[in-house]
């Protein structure tokens, strides 16, 4: 069985507070072309890290609030940093992942963080110079 959730959202609109119009789950420190909805670390919360195994969950209070976040004038409403997030949808809701929108039927969405994968690898200098030497001999 999966581990218990750190954060579970149960509602017809899936927002923790009536004034929140969106929930953002981040596994990187930026969102929406470079905006930082988490904001700077303070005494109440840790700075987001790619290596901590946690995702950050923030609420957005509308288009104006999202614009203020993009301009650096505001931050999202911090809901917390979690290893597992679950949304139990009681009605259809608009969703978006990496810019791809869809309408999600009622059900459960579970978000967990997987191990990081190396995307770009660089050969050690010794191996690179040996490969160049071998290529020049041919």
pLDDT band for position 75 (cuts 50, 70, 90): confident
Q: pLDDT digit string (tens) for 79-112?
A: 888 888 888 887 888 888 888 899 988 888 888 8
Q: What angle do CA 27, 56, 60 make, to 5 degrees?
A: 110
Cα dihedral across residues 125, 126, 131, 132: positive or negative? positive
pLDDT of 14 above 50 = no
pLDDT of 37 above 70 = yes
pTM: 0.68
pLDDT at 28: 79
pLDDT of 13 above 70 = no
């Amino acid at each position: 069985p999966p581990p218990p959730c750190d954060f579970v959202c149960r509602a017809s609109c899936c927002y923790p507070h009536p004034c929140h119009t969106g929930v953002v789950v981040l596994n990187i420190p930026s969102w929406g072309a470079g905006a930082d909805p988490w904001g700077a670390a303070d005494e109440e919360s840790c700075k987001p890290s790619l290596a901590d195994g946690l995702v950050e969950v923030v609420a957005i209070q509308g288009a104006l609030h999202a614009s203020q976040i993009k301009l650096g004038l505001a931050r999202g409403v911090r809901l917390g940093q979690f290893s597992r997030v679950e949304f139990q949808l009681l009605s259809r809701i608009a969703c978006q992942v990496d810019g791809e929108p869809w309408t999600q039927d009622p059900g459960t969405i579970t978000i967990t963080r997987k191990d990081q994968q190396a995307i770009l690898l660089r050969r050690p200098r010794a191996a690179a110079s040996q490969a160049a030497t071998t290529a020049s001999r041919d």
